Amino acid sequence: MKRTAVILVLLAACVLLSGCWSSSPIEDLNMIVGVALDSADETEVEAIFEREGGDYPKRKKISCTYQFVIPQGAGGTPKGAPPSKNFNNMTETGDSIFEAVREFSLRTNRPPIGHHLKIVVIGEELARSTNISELIDFYARDNDLRPSVLLMISGGKARDVLSNSLPGQIPSFVLEDIFNNVDRNSRIWEPLSIAKVVGLLHGKKSFLMQNVIISGKEYKFAGAGVIRGKTGKYIGFLDESELEGMVWVTGKGKGGVLKTYDPDRDKLLTYEINSMSSKIKAKVEGDDISFVVNIKSSGRYAEVFASGGKKLDKAWVEKDEKTLQKQIEKLAQSTVDKMQHELHVDVAGFGNSLHIQYPSVWRKVKEDWDETFSEIPVTYEVKLDLENYGASGITAE
Amino acid sequence: MNAEVKDRITTTQATIMMVNYILAAGILTLPRTVVQASGTPDVWISVILGGILSMLTGAVIVRLNQRFPGQTFFQYSRRIIGKPLGVLLGMVIAGYFLCIASYEIRSVQEVTVFFLLEGTPSWAFAFAFIWTALYLCRGGINAVSRMCRLIVPITWTVFAIVCLLSLKVFDINNLRPVLGEGLGPVWKGVKPTSLTFTAGEALFFLIAFMDKPKKAMRVLVVGTCIPTFFYVAAVVLTIGAFSVDGVVTRTWPFLDLIRSFEVDYLIFERFESLLLVIWIMQIFCTFCIAFYGAALGMSQILNKKFHNCLFALLPVVYVISEIIPSINALFAFGTGIGNWAIVLFGCMPLPLLIIARLRRIGP
C-alpha cells in the first residue's frame, strides 16, 4: 500500500514538475537582433497602412526599424540554391519606442522577443535632435533586453545599415563582430554597451560612439560620433584618422597599423602595433592645470620601402622609431586639437585623470569641464619600441 | 522538543549556517543602496566597516548567550529583565525573523518574476518556496544546516565563476580616486549595509544548538568574514563596470552586472539565469533559518509545540510578503528592517549583558 502511494507520488512529480509554466517554443518567436532608430521617416508600407486606417494618435518623431532573424531549417539551404535572406526588417514610426514594438503584434503573429538583441544603431539626424538617454530608456529598462546591447551611430540613415548585407549574413551580427577586429585595426573605438552608457549619460560626461557608414551593399566603421554630456546629443564627428589619434591618446587599441614616410627618402614605413598603452598625467601648479600624455608602444616592421640600410643596425632602428613616434604625436595632437578647439568636449578621459590625481582640483572645475578643458595645454611623450623586423632582414629595393 | 533543545550542531555547521544566513537577497541591491547613501566609489570600505561593526555587535550577543548555555534568547530573556518585558522582547525578535523571511521571499519573487520566469504567477513560486521550507524546518536544525552545507559548494563556485567573468567589463578607473572625498561619505555608506549584515541575531538561537558553545566567537568571526568578502567583491565589480553614476540608475545592479556581458566559446553565453537560480537557493537558506528562528521563538515563548508554530506562521509569512504593494515599498520595508536590526541587535544586547552581570544571572 505504502509502495503504491510512493509510486503514485513519483509519477505525479514526473508529470507536474517537468513542465514549464510560461514556456513558448523558440520557433514561434520573432527574435530581435538589431534596432535602428531614425528621425521620423515613414516607409511606403506604413503610408499605405495609414491611408487604410491603420493609424493611432502619435507624434511622429522616431522611426524604429527592427531586425528579426528568420529561423533556418536545421539542414540549411538546399544544395545549389542561392542562400536566402535570413533576416527581415520592419519599421514603425511614432514617439514611443515601446509602443512601436507592441505595434508589431498587429502586423505579425510571432511575438518579438529581445533576449538576443545585439545592437542599436542611431541615425545621426535623430541623435542631433534628441537626448540619447531618451532613446535608450526603454532598452535600459526592459527585462528581456540586456545591458550588453551595443550602441552605434550612423552618419546616414540607420535603417539602411541594417538592410544592407552580403547574402547569408545578418547585418546586426556582422556589426557586432566587427568590434572583435580591434586587434587588427586601431581605428575602431571600444564597443559602447548600454551598461557603460547609462553611467556616462547620468553623470553628464561626454563620450564617443562608433560610427558606421554604408555604400551600396556594404558598410564600414568610420570614425566616431561625439556626444556632449551636458545635452546628451550628437555634436560632431571624429574621422578615421582622428579616431586613430584618439585610440593612441587613450591607449585603448590592441593592434593595428601605423603608417608614415621616411623623412629623408620619402619612402613608406609601416609598423604593426603589438601593444600600446597610455597614461595621462595631470599637473597642477597653482590654478594652472596641464596634461602630459605618456604613450608607449611596441611592435615590428610590417613594410619598409626605404633601401640601403640594414634593419639589424641599431642606429637605423632608432631613427625609424623616432619617425614613428613623431607620427603618433601628430595623430594625437590633431585629435586633441579638434576636441579642444572645434568640438569643445573631453572624450579622451583627461577629466578622469585629473579627478583621480587631484580630486580637490577636480571638484572646482568639474561643473564646466568640457569648456575648461579647451584651454588646457597638453604635451606628449611617446616611446616606441621596434622589437622585430619580420622574416626579411633586408628591405625591398 | 520545545523546552529543552536536544538537536546539536558542530562548530563548522554553525559557521556555514551563519554564512548562509547573511548571504541573501541584499547582494542584488547592495551596490546601489550604498552608493546612493555615500555617492563615492569608496563604498567597498563602507562594506568592510559594516562587516566589522556587525562583528562587534555580534560579539556582545555571543557573550550574552554564553552566560546561558543551551538556552535560546527566547528562554533566557525573561530571567534577565523579568517575564513581561522578556516575553515582549522575545516576541519582537520573533516578529523580526518573520519580517526577514517575508522580505526575502518577496525580493526573490520580484526578481524571479521579472527576470527569470516572466508570466509565472508569483504565488505559484512563493508556494513552492514556502512549502519546501516548511518541510525542511520540520526536520529540525540539523536538516536546515545540512541543506546549507549542501548548497555552499554550488553557490560559491558559481559566484566565483560569475565574478571572474565579469572582469571583462571591469574598469579600475571607476573605483578611483580612493578616498577622494575623504572619510565622511564612507561613514554614510555604512548604515545601508545593516540590512545585508543582519548577522548576530541568528546567534540568539544558533549558539543554544552548538555542541561546543565556547567556540561561538569563532563562528561569528568566520561566519561574518566570508560574506563580507562576497559583498565587497560584488560591490567592487559592480561599480567597476557601471561607475558610480551608473550604479544608481540600476534597480538590481548586481544582476545587471551579470547581464552586461556575454561570453563566447564557453558552454554558456549568459550567466544571469544560472546565477539567479543558484542565488534563489541561497535566499532559500536565509528564509529557512529566519523562518525557523521565528517559529522557535514562538514555540518557546508561548510554550507551544514547535511543529504547530511552523504551520501557524506559514500563512503569516506569506501574507506579510503579499501586503507589500510595490517595489518601492519593498525597498522601504528592507530599510525598515535594517533600522530595526540596528536597534534590536546593535544597541539592545549590551544593556542586557550589563544587567545580567549586575544581577549575577547565569554562570
* CATH class for the region spanning A244-388: alpha beta
With CB atoms and an 8 Å threshold, state whether A355 touches B120. Answer: no
- Omega before B121 within 30 of 0, i.e. cis: no
Q: Is a pLDDT exceeding 90 seen at residue A208? A: yes
Q: How far is CA B123 from CA A324, B131, B332, B357, in A?
A: 67, 12, 22, 48
**Side chain identity at B26, as an amino acid letter?**
G
Q: Do A203 and B244 touch (CB under 8 A)?
A: yes
More confident residue, A361 or A304: A361
Please report the pLDDT score of residue B4 as a whole number: 44
Q: Between A198 and B362, where is the model more confident?
A: A198
Rounded-to-integer distance, Cα B174 and Cα B24, Å: 26
Which chain B residues are Cβ-neighbours of A362 within 8 angstroms?
180
Residue type, B175: L
State whether residue A354 sits within 8 Å of chain B by CB.
no
* Higher-pLDDT residue of B128, A24: B128
Q: Which of A305-309, B68-72, B237-241 has the lowest mean pLDDT?
A: A305-309
CA torsion, points A355, A359, A361, A365, in degrees to nearest 10?
A: 50
A19 — pLDDT class (breaks 50, 70, 90):
low
pLDDT of residue A81: 60
pLDDT at A78: 55
Q: For B118-160, write each residue's pLDDT tens digit.
A: 888 888 888 888 999 999 999 889 999 999 999 999 999 999 9
Q: Domain locations in chain B?
A: 3-350
pLDDT of residue B96: 92
List B residues 171-230 in contact with A (Cβ-Cβ < 8 A): 173-174, 176-177, 180-181
Q: Confidence band (pLDDT; 50, 70, 90) for B115?
A: confident
Domain ranges of chain A: 24-238, 244-388
What is the pLDDT averaged over residues A101-107?
88
- Among B109, B114, B244, B262, most A C-beta atoms within 10 A, so best to mutate, is B262
In this prediction, residue A80 carries a pLDDT of 59
For A369-380, write each residue's pLDDT tens digit.
888 899 899 999
- Complex ipTM more than 0.90, yes or no: no
The residue with cell 515563548 is B301
Residues of A in contact with B243 (CB under 8 A): 199-200, 203
Rounded to a whole number of angstroms, the distance from the CA of A112 to the nearest CA of chain B is: 15
Q: How big is the CA angle at B62 (ends B59 and B67), to the nearest 5 degrees?
A: 135
- A90, A104 contact by CB (below 8 A): yes
Which CATH fold would you assign to the domain B3-350? Amino acid/polyamine transporter I (1.20.1740)
Q: Is B170 on the interface with A (CB under 8 A)?
A: no
Q: Which residues of B touch A356 (CB under 8 A)?
A: 173, 176-177, 180
As a whole number, mean pLDDT of residues A142-147 equals: 88
Q: Is the pLDDT of residue B344 over 90?
A: no
The sign of the torsion formed by the CA atoms of B68, B71, B74, B75 equals negative
Residue A251 C-alpha from the chain's centroid: 16
| Cα distance from N-terminal residue to C-terminal residue, chain A | 97
Stretch B325-333: mean pLDDT, rounded?
Answer: 91
Q: A104 CB contacts (<8 Å, ≥6 apart)?
A: A30, A66, A90, A92, A112
Dihedrals φ, ψ of A207, to 5°?
-155, 170
The predicted structure's pLDDT at residue B362: 67
pLDDT for position A309: 59
Closest CA to A281 of A366, A365, A349: A349
Confirm if B260 and A193 have CB atoms less than 8 A apart: yes
Q: Is the pLDDT of residue A393 over 80?
A: no
**For residue A188, what pLDDT is reported?**
94
Task: Give the orientation angle of helix B43-66 with respect to helix B349-358, to 10 degrees.
Answer: 30
pLDDT of residue A84: 66
**What pLDDT, on the 0 to 100 scale, is given for residue A79?**
60
Among the listed ranges A291-295, B164-168, B174-178, B317-321, which one has the minimum average pLDDT value?
B174-178
Q: Look at residue A394 and tell me whether its pLDDT is greater than 70.
A: no
Q: What percent of chain B has pLDDT over 90?
A: 42
Query: What gap in Å lies between CA A35 and CA A46, rounded to an integer?
Result: 17
A272 is written with which cell numbers?
Answer: 604593426
SS3 B141: helix
Residue B186 and residue B49 in contact, taking contact as beta carbons nearer than 8 Å: yes
- Grid coordinates representing B167? 572582469
pLDDT over threshold 50, residue B2: no
Tell whether the model's pLDDT for residue B317 goes beyond 90. Answer: yes
Task: Tell me the mean pLDDT in the region A349-370.
Answer: 90
> If pLDDT is split at 50, 70 and 90, which confidence band does A312 have?
low
H/E element, B52: helix B43-66
Percent of chain A with pLDDT over 70: 93
A76: pLDDT strictly greater than 60: no
Question: Does A140 reach chain B within 8 Å, measured CB to CB?
Answer: yes
Chain B residues with CB under 8 Å of A199 CB are 174, 242-247, 249
Identify the residue among B36, B113, B176, B252 best suited for mutation to test binding to A, counting A beta carbons within 10 A and taking the highest.
B176
Evaluate if residue A82 carries a pLDDT over 80. no
